Amino acid sequence: MTIHSAPPAARRIPTTAVLHGEPLVDDYAWLRDRESPEVRAYLEAENRYAEGVLAPLAGLESALYDEMLARIKQTDLSVPYRDGEYWYYTRTEERKQYAIYCRKFETLEAVEEVLLDLNQMVIGRSFIAVAVFAVSPDARYLAYSTDVTGFREYTLHIKDLATGTEMIEPIPHVGTLVWAADSRIFFYTVEDQTTKRDFRLYRTSLAGGTADLVYEEPDERFRVVVTRTRSRRFLVLYAASHLTSEAQVLEAGNPTGGWRVVIPREHDREYDLDHHDDRFFVRINDTSRNFRVVTVPVTDSNPAGWTEVLAPQDDVMIEGVECFAGHWVAWERCEGLPRIRIADLDRDQVRYVGFEEEVYEAGPAVNAEWHTHQFRYRYESFVTAPSVYEYDMTTGDSVLLKRKDVLGDYDPARYQSERLFATAADGTRIPISLVRRRDAGSGPAPAYLTGYGAYGISFPVSFTSNRLSLLDRGVTFAVAHVRGGGELGRRWHDGGRMGQKQNTFTDFIACADHLVATGRTRHDRLAIDGGSAGGLLIGAVVNLRRDLCAAALLEVPFVDVINTMRDATLPLTVGEYEEWGNPDVEEQYRWIRAYCPYTNLTAGAYPAILVRTSLNDSQVMYWEPAKYVARLRTLKTDGNPLLLLTNLGAGHGGASGRYDRLREIATDYAFVLWRLGLAG
């Protein structure tokens, strides 16, 4: 396919900063001016250019969209969950972009009550997302928050579900919310409008009056979140940075009382908790980076009264703890795979939920009830569609409640998933999760390798029916579980952050080289992909090894690390010092300088690259990928396409409507298939 038109050329307006004796010239800092007509014109010109380059793929895009849509059950229902006297669920309807939030009284045969219909609420807009969705304890009032730009600017509303009346004037910039036991007083967090850090907690009432400021977090590394224990006895206010956390509690029945710190803040110590009877179950990393679980008396948090109920292990990460009336549950990860530990509070009995597949993902489903022996969890894998199970904590039996339908002739037996290990330069074994068709043959196949590697987040081994459009065309799909993520515990995160960040990139390269060395693919048949911090990963990898792949997708990529981390007024920056470092500190600047994708672009041949961003992204500002593409255009010496697509009406996650999002995926897949020689 031939590219006919010339790409846009952004003006070069040099600005120079000197950091630790080194001058850094940025020709494209002017692209930060969101309100500039020239900036808007440049982004639109890049869109037109990308659309022109991709125009010959229109038939393939359409075919991909149609086949992906054909696999989706468009009119569908989530698994209803019980909370008090009501069953809650969401549903979708064919040809409608958004979910409808509903409930039924006491029985699923009752008349449906629609709580929110996002399809009606989005009329006249191009974007909508819901964050807070909290029904009051008496089930009469619904607190919900909406963002209508994609910039994560959530506005709080409270509706009387009996009358439909709006109970308060909308409150802007709300993060989290929790109801007091009386269903009249509620607490909510608000963000600093510049840095978008939730930093204040307010208390107010449906009766009106002023909102009382309860707490303000002065440390810019910390964000606050308000929630409640499943027992509903306590409200919990967390203040947390990437490395340190602190919890305060308040009796839900005494909303005007004073909040009390459970365990005082200590640098590099994290904990969270749930409540049972006269004690808190606390997950804490005071003696091990991988955490342990202790019980702490509700009335006295002195460590002398702590009891260890789950000891730390070097090879097991404890990821969470939940309590029920008769049991408590620990979420663990061992050898990169999740497992669920169920402990009986009345008997000395522990069970593990068993999983049979070699690679999979599992996590908590909605569990709103306290007095229950039924526990719900989610399960999926590369070949098993998302499923919700109900586990009987007294008998150990699991019952499948719902598995997401995959329409058409999908047969999981046609596909094979496996776990491989690459070896990094320092000898570390790096897990790779892989899936392909069983009949794909034994020779090198086209392959799609993705990764993330940041914040201690484990890359999920998840299912999407969209991926079948790649697998059925002979593409092998793989995830590189690189250091910086959380797959192998906190040491895995520590091994890919701050001064060890280069491991993230070299791990990914080792995984790609392993797939080639074992005959599964070739470098000229490989596409690589990453989003956000994963986009940073791909940008750094391409700079290190331009011959690694035939195509690269960078989705909302964090590629201008030095300039962003020097600007403390931007969202996320100060809190992120604990993940990346602060470039104003010379040693930390040297870490970042060594890999920053934008700074390290040099003249030479690059693979085909598609970059996606959104104008209203508040996590990775649009100008990072825009600057990256503008600069790379002046340096690349090859004829491979370099494309920038900007969604001018969305945020970090791209389009909010499910059909609109599917079209974006179809475009990405068409680009990949084209560059892998499979567009015909």
Reduce the DSSP state of residue 327 to 3 states and report it.
Answer: strand
> Going by C-beta distance under 8 Å and a sequence separation of 6 or more, which residues neighbour residue 161?
113, 115, 135, 139, 140, 141, 142
Tokens of 468: 């079948």
Number of Cβ atoms within 10 Å of the Cβ of 529: 22
- In contact, 44 and 50? CB cutoff 8 Å: no
- Do 135 and 249 belong to one domain? yes
- Do 422 and 395 belong to one domain? no
Maximum CA extent, the chain: 74
Per-residue pLDDT reduced to its tens digit, 302-351: 999 999 999 999 999 999 999 999 999 999 999 899 999 999 998 889 99
In whole angstroms, what is the distance from residue 361 CA to residue 186 CA? Answer: 35
> Going by C-beta distance under 8 Å and a sequence separation of 6 or more, which residues neighbour residue 489?
289, 290, 314, 315, 316, 317, 333
Per-residue pLDDT reduced to its tens digit, 455-464: 999 999 999 9
In whole angstroms, what is the distance from residue 29 CA to residue 624 CA? Answer: 9
Per-residue pLDDT reduced to its tens digit, 130-154: 999 999 999 999 999 999 999 999 9
* Number of compact structural domains in the chain: 3
| Phi, psi for residue 311 in degrees, rounded to 5 | -75, 155
- Do 250 and 310 belong to one domain? no
User: Is residue 74 a part of any domain in this protein?
Assistant: no
Tokens of 270: 């994290």
**pLDDT above 90 covers what percent of the chain?**
95
Sequence letter at residue 495: G
Reported residue count of the chain is 680
pLDDT at site 193? 87
In whole angstroms, what is the distance from residue 31 CA to residue 27 CA? Answer: 9
User: Is residue 4 a part of any domain in this protein?
Assistant: no
User: Is residue 473 a part of any domain in this protein?
Assistant: yes
Is pLDDT at 3 greater than 60 in this prediction? Answer: no
User: Is residue 129 a part of any domain in this protein?
Assistant: yes
- Do 430 and 351 belong to one domain? no
- Partnered with residue 477 across adjacent β-strands are 435, 448
- Do 21 and 144 belong to one domain? no
- Show which of 269, 297, 314 is a domain's final residue: 269
Active site residues: 532, 617, 652
> What angle do helix axes 502-517 and 533-544 make, rounded to 10 degrees?
70
β-pairing, 551-555 vs 526-531, is parallel
In whole angstroms, what is the distance from residue 468 CA to residue 415 CA? Answer: 10
Sequence letter at residue 564: T
- Show which of 269, 295, 322 is a domain's final residue: 269
- Partnered with residue 610 across adjacent β-strands are 553, 643
User: Is residue 49 a part of any domain in this protein?
Assistant: no
| 37-45 contacts, C-beta under 8 A, 24 or more apart | 38/11, 42/8, 42/10, 42/626, 42/630, 43/615, 43/622, 43/626, 43/644, 43/646, 43/648, 44/648, 45/8
User: Is residue 44 a part of any domain in this protein?
Assistant: no
Is pLDDT at 249 greater than 50 in this prediction? Answer: yes
- In the structure, what pLDDT confidence band is assigned to residue 623 with cuts at 50, 70 and 90? very high
Residue 378 structural domain? 274-407
In 446-501, which ranges are continuous DSSP H helix? 468-471, 490-494
Burial-class residue 339 by CB neighbours within 10 Å (0-12, 13-18, 19+): middle
In whole angstroms, what is the distance from residue 398 CA to residue 217 CA? Answer: 43
Average pLDDT over residues 352-358: 91
- Do 196 and 220 belong to one domain? yes
pLDDT at site 5? 78
pLDDT at site 599? 98
Number of Cβ atoms within 10 Å of the Cβ of 132: 21
| Phi, psi for residue 314 in degrees, rounded to 5 | -65, -30
pLDDT at site 1? 47
Tokens of 539: 């940008």
In whole angstroms, what is the distance from residue 580 CA to residue 484 CA? Answer: 11
| Average pLDDT across the chain, whole number | 96
Is pLDDT at 2 greater than 70 in this prediction? Answer: no
Per-residue pLDDT reduced to its tens digit, 298-316: 999 899 999 999 999 999 9
Per-residue pLDDT reduced to its tens digit, 5-44: 799 999 999 999 999 999 999 999 999 999 999 999 999 9
- Do 490 and 389 belong to one domain? no
Q: Tell me the residue ranges of DSSP E strands in 2-154.
A: 15-19, 22-26, 76-77, 81-83, 86-92, 100-105, 113-117, 129-135, 141-147
pLDDT at site 604? 97
- Do 468 and 367 belong to one domain? no
Per-residue pLDDT reduced to its tens digit, 534-578: 999 999 999 999 999 999 999 999 999 999 999 999 988 999 999
β-pairing, 279-284 vs 271-276, is antiparallel
Reduce the DSSP state of residue 287 to 3 states and report it.
Answer: coil
In whole angstroms, what is the distance from residue 71 CA to residue 52 CA? Answer: 29
User: Is residue 656 a part of any domain in this protein?
Assistant: yes
In 3-state terms, the chain is what percent helix, strand and coil (to 5)?
20, 35, 45
Per-residue pLDDT reduced to its tens digit, 396-417: 999 999 999 999 999 999 999 9
Measured torsion, CA atoms of residues 266, 267, 273, 275, in degrees rounded to the nearest 10: 10
CATH number of the CATH domain containing 222: 2.130.10.120
- In contact, 573 and 562? CB cutoff 8 Å: no
- In contact, 676 and 644? CB cutoff 8 Å: no
Is pLDDT at 201 greater than 60 in this prediction? Answer: yes
Is pLDDT at 443 greater than 90 in this prediction? Answer: no
- Do 306 and 265 belong to one domain? no
- Show which of 348, 380, 407 is a domain's final residue: 407
The angle formed by the CA atoms of residues 552, 554 and 559, to the nearest 5 degrees, is: 120
Average pLDDT over residues 638-663: 94
- Do 395 and 471 belong to one domain? no
> What angle do helix axes 623-633 and 37-54 make, rounded to 10 degrees?
70
- Do 301 and 360 belong to one domain? yes
pLDDT at site 348? 83
- In contact, 374 and 392? CB cutoff 8 Å: yes
User: Is residue 497 a part of any domain in this protein?
Assistant: yes
In whole angstroms, what is the distance from residue 94 CA to residue 286 CA? Answer: 51
In 495-583, which ranges are continuous DSSP H helix? 502-517, 533-544, 561-565, 573-580
End-to-end CA distance of the chain: 11
Average pLDDT over residues 113-141: 97
> Going by C-beta distance under 8 Å and a sequence separation of 6 or more, which residues neighbour residue 52?
4, 5
Burial-class residue 160 by CB neighbours within 10 Å (0-12, 13-18, 19+): middle
Tokens of 293: 């679980």
- In the structure, what pLDDT confidence band is assigned to residue 4 with cuts at 50, 70 and 90? low
- Do 536 and 630 belong to one domain? yes
Tokens of 667: 């475009």
